[in-house]
Amino acid sequence: MPETRHFLTLLDFSPAELDQLITRAIELKRAHKAGADQRTFPGKVLAMIFAKSSTRTRVSFEAGMAQLGGHAMFLSPQDTQLGRGEPIEDSARVISSMVDLVMIRTFGHDIVERFAAHSSVPVINGLTDDYHPCQLLADIQTWVEHRGSIAGKSVCWVGDGNNMCQSYINAARQFDFELRIACPKGFEPNERLVAANAARVRIEHDPLLAAAGADLVVTDVWASMGQEEEQLKRARAFARYQVNAELMSRTASGALYMHCLPAHRGEEISAELMDAPATVIWDEAENRLHAQKALMETLLLARR
Ligand code: CP
Ligand code: NVA
């Protein structure tokens, strides 16, 4: 049996593998829309562990696995022994002995790392406090579909230095683009991660300066899951960090903007941009399905 591969961050795949995965996601999307039977993995089972809420991640993994001919199983700490203190390591050993893939959405990134270290099957990070790599697959697929390669482009992150922002830092490295991060002081992404990617990543506290000439602008909620009690404090700190028409007027012509959703209209993004007919935000959400089918296919094929 080859070594078990996991997808905990974008760095688990090489740039060439990531490019291949995006190409495959676009192919799978076309075939799915043309009505192709994609049940190439009958009998395969995906366990999905959700310690945080989800709409897109749950629906896309569950629908994706069904379309591939397999089955997805929803597990939450509340109704498994995970919530009663059974060690992650023991749970990983047991769950992975019965299924073919595991997806986990949880708090600390160390939890997915510990689970993966004791899992006999591939583990996919469906969001941790530090990273959300599956969303990046969908975002890059969306860019490629609309604009071609993202290599050499200028991307501007506006908002919190959170799990999505940190995934964009990894993406800048793996897909070779320049990233400017506009965040309030005190809400920067991990300092070591920024330093390790200094050739491509720069922090610029002024959002309008950061957006100047950008090809793509990306934002996300000001308070992530687990930070609900900081909502008011954050709303004050982030008041100047809204993606809106004024900010977009500073970007390169034809610039796109993205949001992983769920969004708060009037906070991190204006209602006008959210509801603009030409927005690619809905493609971005839909592409979670296709990108993750490509990801699951890649991980399952690696075990044949
Ligand atoms: N973007 C995203 O991961 O959405 P959900 O929280 O609904 O899964
Ligand atoms: N940063 C957000 C992303 C949600 C998909 C959160 O972690 O809640």
3-class secondary structure, 241: coil
Task: Confirm whether 12 is a catalytic residue.
Answer: no
Q: Return the residue whose CA atom lies nearest to atom 1 of ligand 2.
A: 224
Same fold, 10-132+288-301 and 135-284: yes
Using a 6 Å cutoff on CB, does residue 163 contact ligand 2? yes
pLDDT of residue 1: 54
Beta strands in the chain (DSSP E): 45-50, 71-75, 101-105, 123-125, 154-158, 178-182, 201-203, 216-219, 256-259
Instruction: Please say if 141 is a catalytic residue.
Output: no
**Which numeric CATH code is attached to 10-132+288-301?**
3.40.50.1370
Centre a 10 Å sphere on the Cβ of residue 11 and count the other Cβ atoms it contains.
Answer: 13
Distance 255 CA to ligand 2 centre (A): 23
Q: Can 180 be counted among the known catalytic residues?
A: no
- Give the residue, out of 49, 50, 56, with the most ligand 1 atoms within 8 A of its beta carbon, to mutate for a pocket test: 56
- Other beta carbons within 10 angstroms of residue 66's beta carbon come to 14
CA 60, CA 56: separation in Å to the nearest integer?
Answer: 6
Residue 25 near residue 283, CB atoms below 8 Å? no
What's residue 222's pLDDT? 98
Q: Minimal CA–CA distance to 183: which of 233, 213, 222, 231?
A: 222
Copy the structure tokens of residue 244.
């809106």
Neighbours of 58 (CB within 10 A): 17
Beta carbon of 60 within 6 Å of any ligand 2 atom: no
Q: Tell me the two tokens of residue 73.
A: 């199983």
Residue-by-residue pLDDT tens, the chain, 304 positions: 568 999 999 999 999 999 999 999 999 999 999 999 999 999 999 999 999 999 999 999 999 999 999 999 999 999 999 999 999 999 999 999 999 999 999 999 999 999 999 999 999 999 999 999 999 999 999 999 999 999 999 999 999 999 999 999 999 999 999 999 999 999 999 999 999 999 999 999 999 999 999 999 999 999 999 999 999 999 999 999 999 999 999 999 999 999 999 999 999 999 999 999 999 999 999 999 999 999 999 999 998 7
Architecture of domain 135-284: 3-Layer(aba) Sandwich (3.40)
For ligand 1, whether the C-beta of 224 sits within 6 Å is no
Measured between alpha carbons, how far is 51 from 86 in angstroms, rounded to an integer? 14
Q: Hey, where are the domains in the chain?
A: 10-132+288-301, 135-284
* Separation between Cα atoms, residue 150 and residue 136, nearest integer Å: 12
In terms of Cα–Cα distance, which of 219, 188, 207, 202 is closest to 284? 219
The SS3 call for residue 46 is strand
**Ligand 1 binding pocket includes 167 (Cβ within 6 Å):** no
